[in-house]
Amino acid sequence: MTDHDATLPPAVCEPLPMLPEPSAGTARPEQGTLPGPAAAGRPLRVLAAMSGGVDSAVAAARAHEAGHEVTGVHLALSENPKSFRTGARGCCTLEDARDARRAADVIGIPFYVWDLAERFREDVIEDFFAEYEAGRTPNPCLRCNEKIKFAALLDRALALGFDAVCTGHYAVVVDGPEGRELHRSVDQGKDQSYVLGVLDADQLAHALFPLGTDTKDDVRAEAERRGLAVARKPDSHDICFIADGDTQAFLATRLGRTPGDIVDRDGTKLGEHEGAYAYTVGQRKGLRIGRPADDGKPRYVLDISPVSNTVTVGPAEALDVDGLTGIRPRWCGPAPTGVLDCTAQVRAHGDEHPAVAEIDGDTVRVRLHTPMRGVARGQAVVLYDGTRVIGSATIDGTSSAA
């Protein structure tokens, strides 16, 4: 059954009850359980976002088993969905929708498909094109979490009387001294707190992440025990709306061929490109430079200038930065002020770097204790206090450590 404009009986949407044990500041929260009806005073009305994968299926099953009134929903994000996935690439195919429906049937919950393809195109895909055209490197997963799963979906869920949205993200939400806190997952290899660093306090108040205290192997084993056919389904990876993984070709469909120069740091022309948007800071392969460096070492992309349509390359050490400037901050709780000690991360599964962050209104200046390599404008910097996510900002500039 497909439903775009479902109306459901109204319910009071209060903030979600907290997990029983508050966090200890910088320490990882103890393993907890999904809050049940006793903690809430009544069963929560939960909308479970079901992608068709194993994680979201187990998350929905746990919410249902905890005694909540769970409804599954699959988000149709592709305007022209294909019937089948290509291995582990892409998502939002007809196969994924069917897998989600079958999982909902096994769990025993109602299931709907909501068409958010137009919203996804406007807020995620169009933003992706615009950022690359401007010489920046966006993270569409963060944008999707911010604009689709915890804005469009959550807003609609609350309007229909649901109390919370449940997803299969690997992260932990607990009660802290100043409200709900977002923490890293126990499974460091699957931790998704980085891509959730755009969520604000109000969104966290209506979010359930039942998998944050488990490993991926545990989740797959549980799916097997529950009889879910997606138990061994491969995880999707790369950018979901670029099923073949060829980002350059995808960008070319919109941005076209715009030839320009590849230059070194003193402006000497070394080669040509067919579109500066196809490059990102730190890139080594595919530069098509005919002349080797004098020292024989490889060159890397250091800068992309959309104004002059040039790509600047140089040695690896020139990629080191010791400071970042972030704009448009998003705080996972009360907005911090002044100067704070923290760690900074700029990639979904990248390393944390000890840092000091200075908050000045809508500008975040991060000073790194050790240099970080290959940071591009447009990436997100996510700040942590131990395992707790403080918030995030979009990188607008860097300072060289050289």
In sequence order, what are the residues at sequence separation of 6 or more whose Cβ sits closer than 8 angstroms to the Cβ of residue 376? Answer: 136, 137, 280, 281, 282, 395
Classified as helix, coil or strand, 341 is strand
CB 48 within 8 A of CB 109: yes
In sequence order, what are the residues at sequence separation of 6 or more whose Cβ sits closer than 8 angstroms to the Cβ of residue 159? Answer: none
Say which DSSP state 84 is in: S
CB 34 within 8 A of CB 58: no
Torsion region of 19: left, alpha or beta (phi above 0 gives left; psi -120 to 50 gives alpha): beta
Length of the chain: 402
Partner residues linked to 372 by β-bridges: 321
Q: How far apart are CA 106 and CA 226, in angstroms?
A: 8
Picking from 163, 173, 158, 206, the residue whose alpha carbon sits closest to that of residue 70 is: 163
Catalytic residue among 13, 91, 141, 144: 144
166 is catalytic: no
Q: How far apart are CA 306 and CA 374, in angstroms?
A: 18
Q: How far apart are CA 145 and CA 148, in angstroms?
A: 6
What tokens were used for 206?
């209506």
Catalytic residue among 13, 92, 141, 240: 240
Q: How far apart are CA 336 and CA 359, in angstroms?
A: 7
In sequence order, what are the residues at sequence separation of 6 or more whose Cβ sits closer than 8 angstroms to the Cβ of residue 83? Answer: 93, 94, 95
Q: Which amino acid is at 331?
A: W
Please list the active-site residues: 144, 240
